[in-house]
Structure 1
Amino acid sequence: MASLAPSETSSKGIDFESSNPQRTAKIEDSKTKDPSIAQREKETDGAKRLLRRQVYILFAAVFVSTFLMALNGSIIATAIPKITTHFNSLEDIGWYGSAYLVATCALQPLVGRVYTHFPTKHTYVMFTSIVSVGALVCATAGSSKALIIGRAVQGCGGAGVINGAFAIIAAAASKEDRPLFIGIAVSLTSIGTIVGPLVGGALTQDVSWRRCFYINLPLSGLVICAFLLLPIPEQVKKQPVRSNLKAIITKELDLVGFTIFAPACVMFLLAMIWGGNQYRWNPSVIIGLFCGALGAFIMFAAWEVFKGEKAMIPPALARNRLVVFGCFTSFLQVGALLSLSYDLPIWFQVVKDESPVMSGVMVLPTAIAQAIGSIMAGKLVQVIGYCTPWALFGCVLTSIGSGLMTTFAPSTGAGPWIGYQILTGTGRGSVVQMPITAIQNFLPAKEVSIATSQVFFWQYLGGSVFLAISETIFTNTLRSSLKTYAPGVNPESIIEVGACAVRSSVPGDELDGVLRAYNHAVVSTFYLAVGASTAAFLTSIGMGFQRLSKKESKEKPKENDV
């Protein structure tokens, strides 16, 4: 099996075509004079075809794994009612989703360091195997606690798989092709996030909720086999692990920084997840978590400054303008649009009286538009060479689409809600990939994995923060709207019965008022997406307007500090 030589792929990616027509003509002419040259040329073409097939398989495996990770994050949403009934564990309902999110966020910065110093191939296989182990634990769980542990294990593996996918794209794809491949990967994560609840609902309804986890095993197995059989290029030269393992672990991974950062991240996320749900925002539990997180983050920042370039998040990289504004853009845009993806199904199920599975079908315009928008934006960046204009364009589309969604009413027809989703989804597809594309093209190779992990961390953090804010807006608005539109019902009783039981729990003469109150509450959360997308427009400008070079530059990019 042919191999990918690191010296050829570490900086230039994989190039199959010869761009010198004069050289091609000379070779063709020499073939007629010397048959041995023609024979060697034939063997070379065969090797190139083999290499091309290997690369296609490699990227197919990468794309499957990114889709699976996005699917894992959302597939459980529609299966949770069945799971809580099976285990009689209503008090654990929040942990089924948050265990995955918290583990992924806490591990992201460390993952960037791991990919910087350990072989990409074996690291990726290890994280994919961890995801498979977590899925197996969930699928065979005999208790609610075992399921939560399995979700946390899945989250730990998912942090490495997502980061590793883009590290492989950066190493194996040429600079010209990276924007397109990043666009495809981002589009698949968008599709996985959107269709996850639909797939989970279908499996739970027709087979078993355990199939939501078993589905991971055969696909992950294929990915692992592909990576074990294929050569994986490295973007930077790495030290031999066997002879330098102790030095890498003690000096390069910054495990002290990780032991400070992880509890800080967990405390902050738990405060955001529990606030307004298990606890109100002002009790000592929430305040204590926020204070503990703040203190730990201050300690972490001081330690990182002390460690310097050996820190888990090097201070110089944390001050880089592209990284800072790219993270802010991801935080705002992904957080706002994730809240939209959670609130839209509520609007379909309550206001439009659709089933959970049908509501999943009705948000497919968002997923399809995101996929098309991501691929188109990646291709346009590949051709034109600029990232920031497409991020700005995506923010504009998202602001317009989410702004139009604030006009939703119980009488809104299919045309508007399909069209507005297409606008919003196309915008998200255009903007979300741009920070990653810019980082992979403008930063030194040794900083790419660490910077990429920061982008993903801020994406997940944005999701948790905006979902918490969105839920608070929804609950408070629903209480006040019920007093206006349905003064004869008890607001607390409407909130407690949940979205699925509203129509069966409300008297007929009050139902119209309750639906109008629900509509107003859901629409109010859309304003959050409008504001965040507008702010993301401003942070996108901060990323700068550098142009992707058509040829690989040997000069180290200049660093722009904030």
Structure 2
Amino acid sequence: MSEPEAAASLERDPTEDSNHYIDGVKLAALMISISLCMFLVSLDRTIISTALPTITNEFHSFDDMAWYGSAYMLTGSVMQLPLGTLYQIYAPKYVFLAIMLVFIVGSAVCGGASNSLAVILGRAVQGIGSAGITAGCMIIITETVPLPKRPMYMGILGAVFGVSAIVGPLLGGALTTGASWRWCFLINLPIGAVAMIVIFLVFPDGGKGGDKDEVEQDRTGITAGGGSMRLWKRIQRFNPLGLCFMVPAVVCLVLALEWGGSTYAWKSARIITLLVLSGVLFILFGVDQWLEGEYSTIKPQLIADRTVAASALYTAFIGASMMSLVYYLPIWFQAIKGASAVKSGEMNIPLLLSLVIGSMISGMLVSKLVGYPSLFMIISSVLMTVGAGLLSTFTVATGHAKWISYQVLFGIGLGLGMQQGATAVQMVVHKADVPSVLSLLFFCQQLGGSIALAIAQNIVSSKLVSGLHASLPDVDASAIVSSGATQLRSMVPTKSLATLLQIYNEAVTTSFYLTAATSAVTFLAAIFIVPRSLLKTYCEDEEVSSGQNRPV
């Protein structure tokens, strides 16, 4: 290989060895299987919401309610980056299967729990599995599908991820009322087991072969599958000192976000201490990453890349936009329109369908025709911002035409851009760095969603309390805030209901301002991504791989 070709190969190699690509029935079976895995993981973030009252009643564990969600989010956030490193060191096939097994074990613990502690521990184990599955599904696509086709398949996963988050409360309510809350977790066992068997059979064992092993070993100290690495070198790749900073930093931040405004006041010493500790530890983690160089969890040269940094920011804020809306739109339907938990899920179908359509359209167009993921990220940002802005105009009297059309506008925007960051980064990083970069994007998405949800909860609670004190001083504001939206109409006299609904509407729609703001920030991130054509990139790399110099 000539020097220019070697340099080009080190810079980026999206085409890699095509011997491990699959198609036809095998690819279809693999896609269905990893889509099911993604569905289960995303589903478990929200499915428990409608089952919480039943679980707490059975175990008399109201004080533990927050931990049923926090345990999942906590371990999921903490393990996202370390598991990305694991995918770099060992064969992705076996890493994914092992992580999937962890997720299934956690689900079994939750489903068979005899007390509240068992549910919490099971959720924590599930969270570990979820961290590796989300990035792992994308990594499987990079291992089995050539670059030009990846956006189409990643669009499918993006649609599955978004749909399952929206469907979660609906399915959770149906399972809880029709069978048992335990089936919110036990449903993962048969589906996950079948998916694992199919993945084991159709996903090639493959590492990369030939010269590429030498290139990757020169850059990362790793050969495909990690076979030539000594134990200490493998430990070094996990950046132990960095993890000592990152893990407690994430723990402190997630706990502060989960407890702030609910368990403890935001101004309490406990919450302030957690936030300060988190900030200091994140700074120390950043310094460590800079000093560690090639052995860092997140390589400094990757973050220094304009497209990677902007994609991470974009992904964080699109996660924030999605979670803040997905959480509070059903609450608006329940409180203002008097819908049940199940009915509110049905009223979210316009958002669900439009998200699927947007994801499929963007995936196919980037793969087949347009080639520029950054273009769809910009269009996505505009549509989401306008859609969220329109949603914030909801009133008590808002009718079907508006709440359906506004959902469609936001949903198409969300679908168009959800997975484009993952596509954009693959055009600028080396194949060996794809697992860590994808893990970084999912880490940002999860953290962005957690932060936005905490802010939205604080906004709604504060607005609700201030409105009640001003207009309905005789009503117990704390009882209204802590009660479910479906119980709202039974908590005040009939003569006060109209005023209460007006106050509640203003509180919830104020959270949509946050959704609009985070959507607007995605536009700023999208315009900083280097406009690069996927189709042109692929053609240039094919010229390099065939012995021709790539045009500058």
Q: CA deviation at 1:372?
A: 0.9
Aligned residue type for 1:307: E
Q: CA deviation at 1:427?
A: 0.4
SS in 1 for 2:409: helix
**In structure 2, distance between residues paired with 1:342 and 1:190:** 12
**In structure 2, distance between residues paired with 1:294 and 1:469:** 17
Q: Which residue of 2 aligns with 1:334?
A: 319
* 1:98-177 superposed matches below 5 A: 98-177=70-149
Relative to 1, partners in 2 of residues 1:204 and 1:58: Cα closer, same or farther, differing over 3 Å?
same
226-235 vs 401-410, which moves further:
226-235
**In structure 2, distance between residues paired with 1:481 and 1:110:** 45
Aligned residue type for 2:541: S
Q: Which residue of 1 aligns with 2:361?
A: 376
SS in 2 for 1:410: coil
- Which residue, 455, 478, 488 being the options, matches 2:464? 478
Tell me, yes or no, if structure 1 residue 74 matches structure 2 residue 46.
Answer: yes
Relative to 1, partners in 2 of residues 1:146 and 1:125: Cα closer, same or farther, differing over 3 Å?
same
Contact 2:307–2:425 (CA under 8 A) maintained in structure 1: yes
Relative to 1, partners in 2 of residues 1:116 and 1:283: Cα closer, same or farther, differing over 3 Å?
same
Q: Which residue of 1 aligns with 2:501?
A: 515
Contact 2:34–2:137 (CA under 8 A) maintained in structure 1: yes
- Which residue, 539, 542, 550 being the options, matches 1:551? 539
* 1:215-294 superposed matches below 5 A: 215-232=187-204, 233-234=206-207, 237=213, 238-239=223-224, 241=226, 244=229, 246-294=231-279
**In structure 1, distance between residues paired with 2:540 and 2:117:** 51
Q: CA deviation at 1:290?
A: 1.2
Relative to 1, partners in 2 of residues 1:13 and 1:523: Cα closer, same or farther, differing over 3 Å?
farther
SS in 1 for 2:267: coil
Q: Which residue of 1 aligns with 2:383?
A: 397
Q: CA deviation at 1:488?
A: 4.2
**In structure 2, distance between residues paired with 1:15 and 1:143:** 46
Contact 1:264–1:294 (CA under 8 A) maintained in structure 2: yes
87-96 vs 315-324, which moves further:
315-324
Tell me, yes or no, if structure 1 residue 500 matches structure 2 residue 486.
Answer: yes
Q: Which residue of 1 aligns with 2:28?
A: 56
**In structure 2, distance between residues paired with 1:186 and 1:221:** 22
Tell me, yes or no, if structure 1 residue 416 matches structure 2 residue 388.
Answer: no
Aligned residue type for 2:527: I
**In structure 1, distance between residues paired with 2:93 and 2:408:** 37
Aligned residue type for 2:504: Y
1:190-215 residue CA offsets vs partner (Å, 9 max, x unmatched):
11111111111000011000001110
1:520-543 residue CA offsets vs partner (Å, 9 max, x unmatched):
101111111111111111111111
RMSD, aligned α-carbons = 2.1
Aligned residue type for 1:499: A
319-328 vs 116-125, which moves further:
319-328
SS in 2 for 1:545: coil
Q: CA deviation at 1:253?
A: 2.0
Q: Which residue of 2 aligns with 1:344?
A: 329
Tell me, yes or no, if structure 1 residue 533 matches structure 2 residue 505.
Answer: no
1:219-277 residue CA offsets vs partner (Å, 9 max, x unmatched):
11011111222242446743454553514432222233223211110111111111111
**In structure 1, distance between residues paired with 2:347 and 2:292:** 50
- Structure 2, unmatched stretches of 5+, are 1-12, 214-222
Q: CA deviation at 1:435?
A: 0.5
Contact 2:83–2:131 (CA under 8 A) maintained in structure 1: yes
Relative to 1, partners in 2 of residues 1:8 and 1:432: Cα closer, same or farther, differing over 3 Å?
closer
Q: Which residue of 2 aligns with 1:388?
A: 374
> Larger relative contact order (C-alpha < 8 A, sep ≥ 6)?
2
**In structure 2, distance between residues paired with 1:125 and 1:320:** 32
Larger radius of gyration: 1
Aligned residue type for 2:495: D
- Given the two structures, how large is their TM-score scaled by the length of structure 1? 0.88
**In structure 2, distance between residues paired with 1:247 and 1:163:** 25
**In structure 2, distance between residues paired with 1:85 and 1:71:** 23
Q: CA deviation at 1:399?
A: 0.8
SS in 2 for 1:177: helix
Relative to 1, partners in 2 of residues 1:11 and 1:540: Cα closer, same or farther, differing over 3 Å?
farther
- Which residue, 330, 337, 346 being the options, matches 1:361? 346
Aligned residue type for 2:437: A
1:164-185 residue CA offsets vs partner (Å, 9 max, x unmatched):
1101111111112111001001
**In structure 2, distance between residues paired with 1:433 and 1:218:** 28
Aligned length: 518
**In structure 2, distance between residues paired with 1:460 and 1:475:** 23
**In structure 2, distance between residues paired with 1:360 and 1:231:** 35
User: Equivalent pairs: percent with the same residue?
Assistant: 35
SS in 2 for 1:553: helix
Contact 1:473–1:521 (CA under 8 A) maintained in structure 2: yes
Relative to 1, partners in 2 of residues 1:552 and 1:156: Cα closer, same or farther, differing over 3 Å?
farther
Q: Which residue of 2 aligns with 1:43?
A: none
**In structure 1, distance between residues paired with 2:386 and 2:486:** 30
Aligned residue type for 1:209: W
Contact 1:395–1:536 (CA under 8 A) maintained in structure 2: yes
Contact 1:387–1:437 (CA under 8 A) maintained in structure 2: yes
Contact 1:392–1:541 (CA under 8 A) maintained in structure 2: yes
Q: CA deviation at 1:552?
A: 6.0
1:500-528 residue CA offsets vs partner (Å, 9 max, x unmatched):
32211101111110010000101111111
